[in-house]
Amino acid sequence: MADVTQPIPSLEERFAQLEKQFADLRAEVLGLQPRAKDWRRTVGMMPDDEISRSAARLGRDWRDQANAE
pLDDT at 45: 76
Question: At residue 24, what is the residue type?
Answer: D
- Nearest 10 degrees: Cα torsion 10, 14, 17, 23: -130
Q: Give a three-class secondary structure readout of the chain.
A: CCCCCCCCCCHHHHHHHHHHHHHHHHHHHHCCCCCCCCHHHHCCCCCCCHHHHHHHHHHHHHHHHHHHC
pLDDT at 59: 94
pTM here? 0.41
4-54 residue pLDDT tens? 788 888 999 999 999 999 999 999 998 887 777 777 777 777 778 888 899
